[in-house]
């Protein structure tokens, strides 16, 4: 059964538009698609940092990031996951995980299962970017 958007109802998910967004995926095409979705919900592309690998993402990730969108990581998956878990605990980083099979990891706030549409992505972003 296809369940494109999993949004836990037990937690409060919110982030401010003023924060930066970290977008991590090895696919240039998917990063472009997500950037278009971000712009459609009012996010400036200037607030989005892009990375193909976990190592690049770890170097970019900092306290100004309020949202991490994580898809398939080319290399350095474990260091990135450790940094994300730390960021969630220390400064409220929210995570949107893009995945193909299995169940979404427990460290994400929202998960989208491939294949998903632009409206699925926009729905997830609306939840994550909603004011508190």
What is the domain-level CATH number for residue 36? 3.40.50.2300
Residue 82 in domain: yes
Q: What is the pLDDT of residue 111?
A: 95
For tokens 């494109």, the residue is 4
Mean pLDDT, rounded, of the chain: 83
Q: Is the pLDDT of residue 110 over 50?
A: yes
Q: Would you call 104 helix, strand, or coil by DSSP?
A: coil
Q: Is the pLDDT of residue 76 over 50?
A: yes
Range of the domain at 29: 19-128
Q: Would you call 74 helix, strand, or coil by DSSP?
A: coil
Residue 70 in domain: yes
Total domains, the chain:
1
Residue 12 in domain: no
| Averaged pLDDT, 98-118 | 91
Residue 11 in domain: no
Whole-model pTM over 0.85? no
Sign of the dihedral through C-alpha 68, 42, 98, 4: positive
Q: What is the pLDDT of residues 7-46, one digit of tens each?
A: 333 333 233 345 799 999 999 999 999 999 888 888 888 8
């Amino acid at each position: 059964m296809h369940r494109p958007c999993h949004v836990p109802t037990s937690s409060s998910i919110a982030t401010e538009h003023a924060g930066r967004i970290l977008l991590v995926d090895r696919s240039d095409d998917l990063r472009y698609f997500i950037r278009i979705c971000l712009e459609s919900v009012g996010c400036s592309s200037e607030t989005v940092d892009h990375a193909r690998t976990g190592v690049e993402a770890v170097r970019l990730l900092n306290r100004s990031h309020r949202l991490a969108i994580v898809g398939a990581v080319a290399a350095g998956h474990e260091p990135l996951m450790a940094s994300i878990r730390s960021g969630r605990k220390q400064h409220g980083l929210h995570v949107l995980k893009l995945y193909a099979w299995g169940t979404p990891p427990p460290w994400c706030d929202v998960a989208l299962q491939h294949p998903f549409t632009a409206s699925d992505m926009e729905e997830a972003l609306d939840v994550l970017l909603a004011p508190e």
